[in-house]
Amino acid sequence: MGQEEKAIAITSRMDSIESIRLAKRIMSFLIEKGERVFLEKRICNRLGRGELGMELNQMTENKIKFVISVGGDGSILRVFHELPKKETPPVYGCAKIGTSIAFLSEGNEKTVYNDLEKILNGKYLIEKCSRLSTFLSTSPNSNIQLDEAINEVLLISAKQSKVMQISVKVNGEFLSNAYLDGLILSTPTGSTAYAFSAGGAILAPIIEVIQLVPINPYARSGLVPIVFPKDSEFEITLLRAHLNGTLIIDGRRVITKIYPKNKIRVKMSEETFKLIRLSSNISKSYFSRLREKILPRIPLPLK
């Protein structure tokens, strides 16, 4: 692109006509503002602008100011997994009202134009979300790097209703052998997702930790949700001789045939994923979204 001005990229979920229409209105708004715009290739023809197409994996921060993701949290997760892992541009999430909780999204169809005015004027903050790196060792000398996660890494049994037995080590130290249905390793971002549903704690994004959450552990195994420092490295091994496991990263990437004695290692990545926030500070943005979208609201005092 040489010395050309950076562009703004737009992507959208494909299974929602309303989201596609909103993406088209956002495109028109930005072009009227004099901004250069790229569209993810899979939507550019739907918006009638095939010449503006660019693949997500080409959108580095030296080309793109920021990416607008139209859709819910699933759309943001998809964008994360397809953007470059380094030099990743920040993402502004814009959700359709009523379609999902959209906890990661900053705006919606009613706020988007005011939001974009603020962003174009530099009135925003960047929330840096931790990422988890996952490695699979199938032999003593192998170390296969898998996809990174911004929510969680989940290990479950390959056979429904079959209880796993696993060994967990942290920084090389034995933690527990446990019977359970599954195990979650979660970032603070993922603490409001599957980890929360499984009984884990909600973790503020300003802290850099990794949370371990067992799913339906056998009561006497002693394994409970635990929060570990960011420099912790986990090693998980399946112990039941004839029961394989399945590894699921952010609910999107599925790795089947995790065999007994294979080792799964998880640690915090050196990279982060950047989300655009429009409050005066990151904590204010987080707790506002937490009150609005996650925590139950009961008027007090009760009558």
Nearest Cα residue to 191 out of 226, 157, 221 = 226
Helix, strand or coil, per DSSP, at residue 84 = coil
Question: Beta-carbon neighbour count of residue 75 at 10 Å?
Answer: 26
24: left (phi over 0), alpha (psi -120 to 50) or beta: alpha
In terms of residues, how long is the chain? 303
Beta-bridge partner residues of 141:
none
Residue 73 annotated among the catalytic residues of the structure = yes
What letter does residue 166 receive in the DSSP assignment?
Answer: E
Helix, strand or coil, per DSSP, at residue 300 = coil
**Active-site residue (options: 15, 73, 115, 250):** 73
Q: Could you tell me the two tokens for 18?
A: 């309303």
Show which residues are catalytic: 73
